[in-house]
Structure 1
Amino acid sequence: MTPAPEPGPRWLTESEQDAWYAWRRMFPLVNAEIARDLSQDSGLSEADYDVLSVLGSTDGHRMRISALAELMRWSRSRLSHQLTRMEQRGAVRREEVATDGRGAEVVLTDAGITMITDAAPLHVESVRRHLIDTLTPEQLRTLAEVGETLHARLGTRRKP
């Protein structure tokens, strides 16, 4: 009879540790470079760009605030503070849902459309420079597969 494994941590192997450390070093570096470029090129924060790009891709450039928070995996409080800052700059406005007195939508303004239209080409160039163009096609496929695997596993979890 084989004895049961002893309880305790399953320490990472050397190759697993290499992968973990690579992720820990890579993600913040790439993200920081792209965020820096975004701020310098367009004056937008990552959060601004995230909200603008989601709304810019929706029909009518509008979305229920609750649905936007869920999609972005943000708390309603975080989104509300972000929307307040963006409203002050004229990028978005909040509107009551005409068919439902309980709900509210966030709507991209003409100024917000201009912001995302101006920022998007600069942002995609930064993404290319700091990530896409540094990897081979095979590495990009692997990165996409890894991202899809993790999203399938973790993306279904409810945010805290």
Structure 2
Amino acid sequence: MSDAAAIAAWESYRRLRLHVDAEIARDLERASGLSMADYDVLAALSALSDGEHCIRVRGLTEHLHWAHSRLSRQLGRMERRGLVAREKCELDGRGEDVVLTEEGRRAHDRAAPAHLDAVRRHFTGALSPGQLAAFTAVARSLAP
């Protein structure tokens, strides 16, 4: 592959990611009042398997691929709004668990349809079935 082709691919990816992320975030905030970061945290907590009601802060940072400091600040903002709570870990008492509050669950449940609609409008609905399959294959090869 030529350098020009590699640069074009990289720049296209960056424009795509920035554009699609911004459009979805704008629509989500307009419809629900949640930022994309709020939604990412709420979605991760809502997706915990049955019987799990919390996740270690460290596990959430790994799941979201965020720095610990970024997650800590985000959780602080969400705690002040009653969407999440942090508790001492029941297993060893050393770390913190993040818990989805009832208000957080309601906020996620209200926002999820708007998020899905925005994803369809700005991403999946703009691609043919073949393009979706190709995109999925490329994405999985880069981030398995």
Q: TM-score range by the shorter chain?
A: over 0.9
Mapping of residues 3-152 of structure 1, within 5 Å: 12-13=3-4, 15-59=5-49, 60-152=52-144
Whose radius of gyration is greater, 1 or 2? 1
What is the root-mean-square deviation in Å for CA atoms of aligned residues?
1.5
Cα drift, residue 11 of structure 1: 5.5
Query: What runs of 5+ residues in structure 1 fail to find an aligned partner?
Result: 1-9, 153-160
CA distance 1:95–1:142, change in 2 (3 Å): same
Greater mean deviation of Cα atoms: 20-29 or 115-124? 20-29
* Separation in 2, partners of 1:32, 1:128: 14
Give me the TM-score of the superposition, normalised by structure 2. 0.92
* Separation in 1, partners of 2:25, 2:44: 17
Give aligned pairs, total. Answer: 142
Give me the TM-score of the superposition, normalised by structure 1. 0.83
Q: Which amino acid is 2:137 matched to? A: E
Percent of aligned positions with the same letter in both sequences?
46
For the residue of structure 2 that corresponds to 1:95, the secondary structure is strand
User: Could you list the runs of 4 or more consecutive aligned residues of structure 1 that deviate by over 4 angstroms after TM superposition?
Assistant: none
* Separation in 2, partners of 1:75, 1:119: 25
